[in-house]
Amino acid sequence: MAHGGLQVLGLVLSLAGWGALVAAAVLPQWQMSSFAGDTIITAVVTYQGLWMSCASQSTGQLQCKSYDSILALPGYIQVTRALMVVAGVLGPLAMGVAVMGMKCTRCGGDDPRRKAGMAAAGGGLFLLSGSSSAPPSSWAGGGLPW
């Protein structure tokens, strides 16, 4: 079993990773495209995310609109949303289990074997959370037809 300081460092890094996952899921910058007309005055940048689409004009105005219907979205966006929600839900669950398995806590008893098992279960949940957030991130960077 790892040293207590390493366990705390791992928990802090996992909390930061979960925060980044939630930020990535919420922000609309999954796909960006721009259009510039004959003059710079007509420049428009559009953002499409999992939950909304936004348009930013060169005048500084930003207009966002949530998607009207979940079922009207293409299948890959629905799958991406589902995987990101699963990853977001598994993160706090994994943190709770991992905290109970840490050496510096008294939750779950003082038995070292039980603590090691809980820490391993928390690590497995972290791996499952990361595995469910990796495909959507790869799809967005790989150029799916957003």
pLDDT at res. 3: 77
pLDDT in tens, 5-29: 888 898 899 999 999 999 999 998 8
Q: How is residue 136 written in tokens?
A: 């959507």
The single residue listed with the structure tokens 């799958």 is 79
Length of the chain: 146
Q: How is residue 119 written in tokens?
A: 């820490």
Contact 76, 94 (CB under 8 A): no
Q: Which pLDDT band holds residue 72 (cuts at 50, 70, 90)? A: confident
CA distance 54 to 97: 38
CA distance 55 to 42: 12
pLDDT in tens, 77-126: 888 899 999 999 999 999 999 988 888 888 767 788 888 888 899 989 99
